[in-house]
Amino acid sequence: MNKKIAFTDLGLKDYKATWELQENLFASIVDLKIQNRRLQEETPTPNYFLFVEHPHVYTLGKSGDLSNLLLSEEQLEKKEATFYKINRGGDITYHGPGQVVGYPILDLENFFTDIHKYLRFLEEAIILTLQEYGIESERSPGETGVWLGVGTPFARKICAMGVRASRWVTMHGFALNVNADLGYFDNIIPCGIRGKAVTSLHVELGVTSVDEEEVKQKITAHFLNLFEGSIEVATF
């Protein structure tokens, strides 16, 4: 099993271009797995982790409800935002500046073959990261992602998650609000869940901004520890 993970920070990158990159990496891993089985070979499959920040964009998962987008095409243009229907799980979410977005593209057969465990590990990496900032976060029963104030009238989501997996290969991932403009969430029913708010790390800490590079470093450390992985230089 290859537990090396190639971490890459794409910086600010268009959502569609990043989605295409994910699809290409995803397909290359799946194709290699098919080839290995056909030829009875054991060529190691690679693993990737993309950090990225997107311009304003709304994405709707394959099981999502379009009515959870509260903007017309004209209003989207005025807000300089784009919209895509995509092939991950989950409903609608927002990505934009001030978010730390992570897309792990892993062959889970290199780690463990359990999608539920994979999602819990993604959540745990974020929970442990927030803990380092003195923020106590948790899971909300039946609702994927990371939340604050679960079970109180002030429940609020700080990290959304949605993944796709096929042949135990993953794509898509999480979006952690670090310095996010929360006003953009007013234009959707986030994740299709009514009556619950969204928050950002800088709001919870009561500061103007949080060092996003530091947040990425903390997420990376916790992710590697949970998955018992190591860093490899990206070669794509």
Query: What is the rounded CA–CA span in Å between residue 37 and residue 7?
Result: 27
Residues labelled as active-site residues: 191
**Closest alpha carbon to 61 in 132, 161, 158, 141:** 161
- Beta bridge partners, 29, equal none
- Check the CA dihedral 161-167-168-171 and report its sign: negative
Per the annotation, binding residues for substrate are 88-95, 160-162, 173-175
Query: What is the rounded CA–CA span in Å between residue 113 and residue 126?
Result: 21
Per the annotation, binding residues are 88-95, 160-162, 173-175
Query: What is the rounded CA–CA span in Å between residue 56 and residue 76?
Result: 10
Report yes or no: 6 and 234 within 8 Å, Cβ to Cβ. Answer: yes
Residue with tokens 């470093």: 217
